[in-house]
């Protein structure tokens, strides 16, 4: 490996996440002059979905440990201890260089139970790592973070931490005193926690030199009963002491019969991979399992040696009676096989199920992922499954095709296979030979998938099965023409002759439904209105708050219909046969549901929402430019706008409109296409001179005084110079409103005086 922790899509290949066979070849060439030779070997690696991920979860952050101390390594077993991996044991190694190499074996053939205590060596390191590896297997895992081993004056180095003691024989086992950093004090050896009557002695009893071998003798072993005994071995020096706990496994010569637990004796309808379990009061190193087809065990069909109190057989046949028994084994001897139990396995039945949603198009645009599904209602464990696929596609290596079970297990059938070849018409079966890419179809016949369909064995059939097709490149498209499953189960399928997924043995009230007919939970046909049966016309309000919206429904088929409409204050239920209308609706959202029947056929409810709208009110925002010579209108609420400026009408459909203004008073009026939307009126004054508007006037007169903010004196004279009106005003927004209704029609003179202001104008009252 040339990379550390290589990531996905980097230069080095990562471990496969797809269940498949990987074939590796190694070739060695001897290029010696005159005698060169070549040899090679091939290794097959099976990637399984049934186990993993196998990983070390302990030592996940930086830790510091003393050399010679006991540490616990924890890992995720992840089903590696059962079929198909069956790794009962693991080896545990230590690296001192950050995982570049693992030269130190800390534990050999430790139980693969997820946790084991190891004794650290005396060598110090700042880059230590643990590796847990399957015993005589290729899979392994390394803890995620370097940890530190600190040097100590001396360690007690044991090759193992558990020792079997066979009564009545004495047991002798060694360890080595290793010293570091020039340590030269005398170390005295002793034991603590020794059961009464058991003898423990050391030879030599003390030591000073590095690498001194020491023997521990366990004597008088019959003084204790069979069992596990932790004992502390202690080395004591004037300035330092070290303690290591070892485990004595004391075995007697009595082997009580193992008690079989399950399956119960003479049980019927047992799965093809049952969990055989047992128990015993004795301690044992292992158990021998025998399975036979006769009570005398003359025809043994499967044997195994396991360390746990359970076993899952691999070779059972359907509808067969088996006998099984267990023999206890220790490192001191073995017992005898106990009384056997028997059980009879379930029958295996097979059934074809085809997708009802084909054909499914695979677009040539982009990189689509499409699927076809099969619903299976039986809830039975799978014994075997084959997949029949017919796919038309113009470039097979674009496709990744997989089967996804209801529980989410994904099995890859093909993955970017067969280059530029076209089409697949194949049966994928684990028992077949691997597919070869050739001709048209590029993959055809009965072939082995890349993944293992057997990883689905034991899962329930119940639920939705999905054929997933991922097109990883654009330009080429195709069709899923057919997707069929051959499902073999442990047990008996419930009858469903019409294939409607409602069982005939009590659930289906309408037997013999035609193929591909939609049915309800009782197996009876579901009738739905034709998509074109209803012509629906919705008319919104003609104007704001007119409440004259309406809905009209014309039905193609003449039936007894019932319609329910609710929403916005309406709650109506009524019948019709071909035409329905509802008037005087206000703006809002309504829900409608229609059912119908012809006396014998009752159609499923058809529901929809509809919206009645009303015109928006007219909205006008006026903005003057910096020169004051142009006005911009921002218009909303109508389709057509009528803009009248100083008596000139312009129509527009634009939402923004610009007007050129004149000096003086500009009268602006804007209306929409509907009178009820309202209007906008504004007087725009351009210039610095006072202005009077309207002139002539009837009763009221507006006086505009640009740039005037202080009080002014306003007087009205007749043509004889007589004062008729005289008042003082404070302009508001540079304007003054004069009520001259008391004056008779005629011609008058208006005079305005103030700070820096003296203005006169002739006005006419009509």
CATH code of the domain made up of 259-346: 2.60.40.10
- CATH number belonging to the domain at 350-490, selected among 3.20.20.70, 2.60.120.260, 3.40.710.10, 3.30.365.10: 2.60.120.260
Task: Measure Cα distances from 13 to 9, 17, 453 in Å.
Answer: 8, 12, 25
CB 168 within 8 A of CB 55: no
The string of DSSP codes covering 265-316 is: TTEEEE-SS--EEEE-SS--SEEEEEEESSTT-SSEEEEEEESSSEE--S--
Mean of pLDDT values over 539-558: 94
Q: What is the pTM of this model?
A: 0.65
Model confidence pLDDT, tens digit, residues 248-271:
999 998 999 999 999 999 999 999
**Residue 15: partners with Cβ closer than 8 Å, 6 or more residues away:** none
- CATH number belonging to the domain at 156-251, selected among 3.40.50.360, 2.60.290.11, 4.10.91.20, 2.60.40.2310: 2.60.40.2310
Whether omega for the bond prior to residue 237 falls within 30 degrees of 0, making it cis, is no
- CATH number belonging to the domain at 534-611, selected among 3.30.70.330, 3.40.430.10, 1.10.1130.10, 2.60.40.10: 2.60.40.10
CB 457 within 8 A of CB 361: no
DSSP three-state, residue 702 = strand
Model confidence pLDDT, tens digit, residues 290-319:
999 999 999 999 999 999 999 999 899 999
Question: The domain 1-151 belongs to what CATH superfamily?
Answer: Immunoglobulins (2.60.40.10)
CB 527 within 8 A of CB 534: no
Query: Can you name the residues that pair with 360 across neighbouring β-strands?
Result: 480
Q: What is the pLDDT of residue 708?
A: 79
Question: The domain 691-765 belongs to what CATH superfamily?
Answer: Immunoglobulins (2.60.40.10)
Cα 522 to Cα 508: distance, rounded to the nearest angstrom: 5
Mean of pLDDT values over 175-202: 97
Q: What is the pLDDT of residue 1?
A: 40
pLDDT above 60: residue 89: yes
Residues of the chain with CATH 2.60.120.260: 350-490
Q: Taking CA 751 as the corner, what is the angle to CA 749 and CA 755, rounded to the nearest 5 degrees?
A: 170
Share of the chain above pLDDT 90, in %: 80
Model confidence pLDDT, tens digit, residues 700-733:
998 888 777 789 999 999 999 899 999 999 887 7
Model confidence pLDDT, tens digit, residues 582-633:
999 999 999 999 999 999 999 999 999 999 999 999 999 999 887 778 999 9
Model confidence pLDDT, tens digit, residues 313-345:
989 999 999 999 999 999 999 999 999 999 999
Residues of the chain with CATH 2.60.40.2310: 156-251
Query: pLDDT: is 625 or 393 the higher one?
Result: 393
Residues of the chain with CATH 2.60.40.10: 1-151, 259-346, 534-611, 691-765
Cα 404 to Cα 257: distance, rounded to the nearest angstrom: 45
Cα 725 to Cα 718: distance, rounded to the nearest angstrom: 10
Q: Which CATH architecture has domain 619-686?
A: Sandwich (2.60)
């Amino acid at each position: 490996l040339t990379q550390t922790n290589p990531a996905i899509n980097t230069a080095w290949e990562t471990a496969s996440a797809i269940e498949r066979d990987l074939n590796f070849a190694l070739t060695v060439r001897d290029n010696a002059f005159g005698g060169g030779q070549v040899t090679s070997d091939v290794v097959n690696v099976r990637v399984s979905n049934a186990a993993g991920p196998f990983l070390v979860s302990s030592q996940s952050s930086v830790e510091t440990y003393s050399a010679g101390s006991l540490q616990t390594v924890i890992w995720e077993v992840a089903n590696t201890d059962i079929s198909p991996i069956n790794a009962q044991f693991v080896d545990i190694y230590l690296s001192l260089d950050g995982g570049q190499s693992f030269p130190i074996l800390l534990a050999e053939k430790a139980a693969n139970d997820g946790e084991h205590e190891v004794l650290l060596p005396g060598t110090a390191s700042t880059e230590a790592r643990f590796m847990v590896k399957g015993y005589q297997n290729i899979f392994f895992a390394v803890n995620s973070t370097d940890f530190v081993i600190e040097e100590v004056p001396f360690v007690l180095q044991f090759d193992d931490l558990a020792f079997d003691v066979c009564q009545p024989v004495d047991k002798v086992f060694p360890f080595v005193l290793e010293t570091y950093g020039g340590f030269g004090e005398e170390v005295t050896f002793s034991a603590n926690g020794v059961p009464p009557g058991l003898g423990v002695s050391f030879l030599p009893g003390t030591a000073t030199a590095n690498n001194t071998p020491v023997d521990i003798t366990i004597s008088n072993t019959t003084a204790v009963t069979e069992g596990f005994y932790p004992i502390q071995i202690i080395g004591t020096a004037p300035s330092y002491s070290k303690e290591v706990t070892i485990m004595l496994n004391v075995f007697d010569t009595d082997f009580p019969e193992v008690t079989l637990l399950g399956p119960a004796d003479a049980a019927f309808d047992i799965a093809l991979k049952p969990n055989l379990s047992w128990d015993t009061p004795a301690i044992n190193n292992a158990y021998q399992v025998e399975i036979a087809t006769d009570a005398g065990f003359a025809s043994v069909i499967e044997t195994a040696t396991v360390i746990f109190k359970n076993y899952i057989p691999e070779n059972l046949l359907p509808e067969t009676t088996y006998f099984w028994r267990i023999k206890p084994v220790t490192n001191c001897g073995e017992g005898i096989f106990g009384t056997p139990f028997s059980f009879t396995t379930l029958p295996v039945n097979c059934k074809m199920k085809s997708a009802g949603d084909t054909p499914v198009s695979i677009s040539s645009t982009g990189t689509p992922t499409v699927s076809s599904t099969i619903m299976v209602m039986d809830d039975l464990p799978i014994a075997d499954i084959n997949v029949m696929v017919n796919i038309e596609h113009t470039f097979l290596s674009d496709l990744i095709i997989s089967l996804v079970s209801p529980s989410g297990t994904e099995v890859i059938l093909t993955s970017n296979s067969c280059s530029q070849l076209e089409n697949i018409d194949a049966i994928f079966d684990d028992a077949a030979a691997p597919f070869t890419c050739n001709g048209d179809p590029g993959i055809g016949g009965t072939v082995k998938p890349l993944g293992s369909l057997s990883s689905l064995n034991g899962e329930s059939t119940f639920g939705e099965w999905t054929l997933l097709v991922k097109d990883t490149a654009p330009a080429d498209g195709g069709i899923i023409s057919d997707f069929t499953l051959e499902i073999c189960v442990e047990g008996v399928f419930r009858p469903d002759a019409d294939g409607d997924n409602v069982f005939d043995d009590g659930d289906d009230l309408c037997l013999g439904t035609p193929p591909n007919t939609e049915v309800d939970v009782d197996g009876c046909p579901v009738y739905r209105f034709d998509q074109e049966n209803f012509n629906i016309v919705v008319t919104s309000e003609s104007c704001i708050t007119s409440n004259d919206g309406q809905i009209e429904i014309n039905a193609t088929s003449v039936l007894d219909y019932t319609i329910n409409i609710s929403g916005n204050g309406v709650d109506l239920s009524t019948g019709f046969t071909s035409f329905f209308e509802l008037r005087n609706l206000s703006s809002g959202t309504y829900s409608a549901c229609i059912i119908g029947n012809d006396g014998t056929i009752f159609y499923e409810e058809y529901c929809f929402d509809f919206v009645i709208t009303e015109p928006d009110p007219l909205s006008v925002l006026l903005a003057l430019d910096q020169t004051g010579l142009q006005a911009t209108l921002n218009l909303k609420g109508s389709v057509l706008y009528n803009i009248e400026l100083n008596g000139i009408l312009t129509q527009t459909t634009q939402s923004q409109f610009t007007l050129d203004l004149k000096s003086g008073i500009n009268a602006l009026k804007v209306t929409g296409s509907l009178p009820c939307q309202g209007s906008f009126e504004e007087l725009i004054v351009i210039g610095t001179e006072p202005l009077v508007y309207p002139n002539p006037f009837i009763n009221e007169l507006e006086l505009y005084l640009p740039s005037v903010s202080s009080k002014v004196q306003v007087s009205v004279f007749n043509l004889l110079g007589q004062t008729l009106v005289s008042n003082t005003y404070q302009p508001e927004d540079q304007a003054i409103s004069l009520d001259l209704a008391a004056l008779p029609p005629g011609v008058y003179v208006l005079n305005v005086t103030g700070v820096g202001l003296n203005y006169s104008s002739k006005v006419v009252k009509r």
